[in-house]
Structure 1
Amino acid sequence: MAILGSIVKSAIAIKHSLSSNSESPAAQQREQLLKLLQTARSTAFGLYHGFSQILEAEDPVSAYQQAVPVFEYDQMNQMWWQQQQKLPDITWPGKPDYFALSSGTTGKESKRIPVTTAMLDSIRAVGVAQAERLAQFDLPPELFEKEILMLSSSAQLQRHTNGHLEGEISGINTNNIPGWFSGFYRPGLEIAQIDTWDDRVRAIAEAAPDWDVGALAGIPSWIQLMLQEIIDYHNLKNIHEIWPSLSIYATGGVAFEPYRKSLERLLARPLVYLDTYLASEGFFAYNARPGTMDMRLAAEQGIFYEFIPFDERGFDATGNILEQPEVLTLHEVETGVDYALLVSTPAGLYRYMIGDTVKFTDLDRLELRISGRTKYFLNVVGSQLSEEKMNAAIGELSESIAHPINEYAVAAMKSETGDFIHQWVVTIPGTVDELEAADILDQSLQERNKNYAVARTKGLKAVKLTALPEKTVYSWLEQRKKKGGQVKMPRVLKAEQMTDLLAFSSTGAKG
């Protein structure tokens, strides 16, 4: 029996039993906001928006909402964060040591999100909270002695002319792994700092026999490519031949279900799957119990949350936020409703709309799931397609053609006659009747979405589908320097991006 593993598992169980917070979610959230306001009251942002006065208000939450507007990236960056790169005490005390480069949408310049020491502390606190919840899972004690392979973007950070370091959030986190954890962390900082994705994965494959990996963490598309590389490099039947203890996979970044079947083809047995909600702006939620992929909101680790209904109360018909949207706090939300997420964090983000939509599934447990992106909302001629509806229809298509579909994208385009059409690209291993697949997808969306069905009788004249190998799509991402790590394939493309992808698929070069 693994003595050390038993001790660790017992310690986690005891810590979890002692750490339950009896405060209501509303009280927890009020406390997080007060801490943020207190810390940042003397910054330029805090002085401008009257944080000291808000702290003295009878209802500081309402006072905060009245004093501080809702921010999207361009507004926050131009008004505050650009200054914060050069000067101290702009939105948070001091200057951030890091700025996270979000993966962004293909073809757009990456966003720069400040990452402070306090934000890194918050991320670690949520990670510890998730580790404590492992006490609820039926895991063998020896698993707690195994290594954890975290597949990140390159940990080779770049020094900006203003003095801070920048890179993707996963690379920043890798550079700040606690010393006690370094003995368990793989692939290690040396390999993680290899800049090129293919070289980094090849180094992982070469070193894989020397590791005893019990858990994986990373975006499913890139985890799958890494596992396939290891299997091919060592001529294995499955990854468990080299890592027999592998039992846990912490996924995140995108919906996991489209990848489940193709991932499990690389395994000898299914894993325990844990979903996580880690973004450039913070670590917001984590899978806290077995039997579900829904995630528990991290309500007491330094972040204050607000929620804008993703309907006519908060957004117009094209998916743009209203000038005066309805904004709710945690105790006001309902289950089954899509909300655009606002966060205020110890990195100097205030009422910041990060672009994700979430849907609560259990308010008592504070459990939710990511339902889509505010920008992955296609509403040309009233089709009103959310990412959640797209994922469901793609899943149905996958079942119908008996092929896994890991990646897809759609764009609203105009045909040669000037009519609007939806052009889909899906990744399929093998051949498929594209006309039949397009019809299956179209019918599924009409059944799931009445607005889409109405649009198909009016302005949306056709649905086209092109099937491509995964390798082609990932090569296209690589050509746009978007391959690996935390990068995700956008689900909704602009017309010119879709034209570029289709041209690339036929020529192998940028069109």
Structure 2
Amino acid sequence: MGLKAALSKPFAAFVIKGINRWKKNAIKAQEDTLLKIVGAAKNTAFGKDHKFAGIKDYADFKKQVPIRDYEELRPYIDRVVAGEKDVMWKGKPQYFAKTSGTTSGIKYIPISKESMPEHIKAARNALLTYVHETGNVRFIDGKMIFLQGSPVMTKKNGINVGRLSGIVANLVPAYLQKNRLPSYQTNCIEDWEEKVDAIVGETIHQDMTLISGIPPWVQMYFDRLAARSGGKKIKDIFPNFELFVYGGVNFEPYRAKIEASIGRKIDAIETYPASEGFIAYQDKQDDKGLLLLADAGMFYEFIPADEFYNDHPSRLSLAGVEIGVNYVLILNTNAGLWGYVIGDTVKFVSKDPYKIVVTGRIKHFISAFGEHVIGEEVEHALLSVANEEGVGITEFTVAPQVNTPKGELPYHEWFVEFASFPEDMAAFSKKVDEALQKKNIYYFDLIEGKILQPLIIRSLQKDAFVRYMKVQGKLGGQNKVPRLANDRKIADDLSSFITRPEDEEQRRIN
């Protein structure tokens, strides 16, 4: 056992003591965080405009600070991007995390000298929590790979700009640098396919023990490793591979294929990082709930998802949440985002401690007829049936089909790339539809009332989603395929990848 591995256990025990203090008093930690960040920003332009000096508690805060998305906060953010100081947070940001929005184009998310350490600490603590729980420190002595965006920075009015993962790549602690792959030069490659090939070349003969990244892009890495090694399983290429760390999307649609690629089950940690802040991570191997980080420089608010588009929706602090309710997550951060709609929806699965699961995106839903089907529901419907029947799913997305030919009833159209096919596609589709009806009563009513016909599954060609994302310029990095859309843009683009029935039959035979 190396020195780092030996020291990690006592260090993990020390860190866990601090985590347990705020975990047991999460509401108090949130109340303290709110007053701390409001006090720090009271002399900023935003703080003066919203009377921060007079805010004494959450009730005062709600009166002064409305809920806003990026576009609504843009007048302030544009001033920050232009180089003005003391606008939303004291001084100027340390970085801008550059992200892509569906309606806002490029977004510049401020990261301050106060918020950046919280990103690093949360990522570290996720690993230390695992060490403390399992006692496994073997992975610490091996090589670790983080499949991420380029660390190359640009400047905007004197402030460093990059993708969040690229910014973090520049801040990996010195004690991990010798363990870390790929090389800086390889990490700087912009073309994702070229980059993955280079990473394969650098890592295939290394002792990889930890691999981290968004599941679909990790799967691409595994596929290319297998191809380069003559079809070997990952466990045979990396016999000491111990831990998979992932985030950004629900792992379940990818689990079966990734585990098949590895050749055995391994431990995994789910994380919930965002450009706006590191929100939660999995702290127990046998519990899929993510521990909400109540003491990480962010004050959270929650709006019931079914009220979000109301004129006056309920607006709750952590003290007011209930288990099982789908909430839109609102952030207030020590980088100067206030009443900020991050766009994600979450559901609490525990209040002792406070744990969440991410259920989707508030703008990623289907409600062409009032059904308001969300990501969590379609994932459950498809995967529950696929797992029951031993069907492999590579990727999928769902859209409404309203303009049907020949006067047929409209329906939900599912675009699915199968890793292994159902024996009977019609029977499989029927089961998925029934599973969705059980999850969403509004969808059930529309099917029963003959407003919608049952869903239709379109089987897509191999690598259809990879090719689609490449055309969109979103291959790799932190980019994800939306599970749902309330329009036909993605669906229409994917239609050219639909397989013919005879192709499907031939692939089943082969």
**How does the TM-score come out when normalised to structure 1?**
0.91
Taking a change above 3 Å as real, the CA distance of residues 246 and 367 of structure 1, as seen in their structure-2 partners, is same
1:428 and 2:418 matched = yes
Structure 1: how far apart are the matches of 2:67 and 2:230? 53
- What one-letter code is carried by the residue in structure 1 that aligns with 2:60? A
| Deviations, residues 431-452 of structure 1 (Å, cap 9, x unaligned) | 5555444323222212222210
Match of 1:235 in 2: 230
TM-superposed deviation, 1:125 = 2.3
Taking a change above 3 Å as real, the CA distance of residues 430 and 214 of structure 1, as seen in their structure-2 partners, is closer
Match of 2:167 in 1: 172
1:67 and 2:71 matched = no
- What one-letter code is carried by the residue in structure 2 that aligns with 1:489? V
Structure 1: how far apart are the matches of 2:50 and 2:195? 45
Structure 2: how far apart are the matches of 1:244 and 1:108? 45
TM-superposed deviation, 1:179 = 2.7
What percentage of aligned pairs have identical amino acids? Answer: 29
| Deviations, residues 267-311 of structure 1 (Å, cap 9, x unaligned) | 132111111001121100011122112110010011100111122
1:157 and 2:153 matched = yes
3-state SS of 1:381 partner: coil
- What one-letter code is carried by the residue in structure 1 that aligns with 2:46? F
Taking a change above 3 Å as real, the CA distance of residues 173 and 7 of structure 1, as seen in their structure-2 partners, is closer
1:28 and 2:29 matched = yes
Match of 1:318 in 2: none
Structure 2: how far apart are the matches of 1:455 and 1:259? 30
TM-superposed deviation, 1:67 = 0.4
Match of 2:88 in 1: 91
Structure 1: how far apart are the matches of 2:431 and 2:154? 46
Identify which of 341, 352, 377 aligns with 1:389: 377
Structure 2: how far apart are the matches of 1:228 and 1:330? 42
3-state SS of 1:263 partner: helix
3-state SS of 2:495 partner: helix
Instruction: Return 5+ residue gaps in structure 1 as ranges.
Output: 316-320
Match of 2:357 in 1: 369
1:344 and 2:335 matched = no
3-state SS of 1:331 partner: helix
1:477 and 2:476 matched = no
1:495 and 2:488 matched = yes
Structure 1: how far apart are the matches of 2:19 and 2:421? 53
Match of 1:277 in 2: 272
Structure 2: how far apart are the matches of 1:351 and 1:474? 35
TM-superposed deviation, 1:462 = 4.8
Deviates more, 1:434-443 or 1:115-124: 434-443
Structure 1: how far apart are the matches of 2:152 and 2:35? 36
Structure 1: how far apart are the matches of 2:15 and 2:277? 24
TM-superposed deviation, 1:390 = 0.6
1:196 and 2:191 matched = yes
Taking a change above 3 Å as real, the CA distance of residues 278 and 18 of structure 1, as seen in their structure-2 partners, is closer
Taking a change above 3 Å as real, the CA distance of residues 18 and 355 of structure 1, as seen in their structure-2 partners, is closer
Structure 1: how far apart are the matches of 2:52 and 2:243? 43
- What one-letter code is carried by the residue in structure 2 that aligns with 1:254? V
Match of 2:42 in 1: 41
Identify which of 108, 114, 121 aligns with 1:112: 108
8 Å CA contact 1:155, 1:194 repeated in 2: no
| Deviations, residues 55-110 of structure 1 (Å, cap 9, x unaligned) | xx3xx221111100001121112x211111012221112222432233445x9734
8 Å CA contact 1:38, 1:51 repeated in 2: yes
3-state SS of 1:368 partner: strand
- What one-letter code is carried by the residue in structure 2 that aligns with 1:12? A
3-state SS of 2:301 partner: strand
TM-superposed deviation, 1:483 = 0.7
TM-superposed deviation, 1:430 = 4.9
Match of 1:455 in 2: 446
Match of 2:366 in 1: 378
Match of 2:460 in 1: 468
8 Å CA contact 1:154, 1:197 repeated in 2: no
TM-superposed deviation, 1:255 = 0.9
Match of 2:202 in 1: 207
8 Å CA contact 2:38, 2:52 repeated in 1: yes
- What one-letter code is carried by the residue in structure 2 that aligns with 1:447? K
TM-superposed deviation, 1:488 = 0.6
| Deviations, residues 222-251 of structure 1 (Å, cap 9, x unaligned) | 111111111211225211223221111111
Taking a change above 3 Å as real, the CA distance of residues 84 and 147 of structure 1, as seen in their structure-2 partners, is same
- What one-letter code is carried by the residue in structure 1 that aligns with 2:434? Q
8 Å CA contact 1:6, 1:142 repeated in 2: no
What is the Cα-based RMSD across aligned positions, in Å? 2.2
TM-superposed deviation, 1:460 = 2.0
Structure 2: how far apart are the matches of 1:364 and 1:430? 40
The aligned length equals 493
Instruction: Return 5+ residue gaps in structure 2 as ranges.
Output: 501-510
| Deviations, residues 405-430 of structure 1 (Å, cap 9, x unaligned) | 13111111221338532111011135
Identify which of 104, 128, 133 aligns with 2:129: 133
Taking a change above 3 Å as real, the CA distance of residues 286 and 236 of structure 1, as seen in their structure-2 partners, is same
Taking a change above 3 Å as real, the CA distance of residues 19 and 482 of structure 1, as seen in their structure-2 partners, is closer
- What one-letter code is carried by the residue in structure 2 that aligns with 1:95? K
Deviates more, 1:93-102 or 1:218-227: 93-102
Taking a change above 3 Å as real, the CA distance of residues 48 and 108 of structure 1, as seen in their structure-2 partners, is closer
Match of 1:224 in 2: 219
**How does the TM-score come out when normalised to structure 2?**
0.91
Identify which of 170, 175, 185 aligns with 2:180: 185
Structure 2: how far apart are the matches of 1:236 and 1:463? 36
TM-superposed deviation, 1:349 = 0.7
Structure 2: how far apart are the matches of 1:4 and 1:412? 53
TM-superposed deviation, 1:358 = 0.9
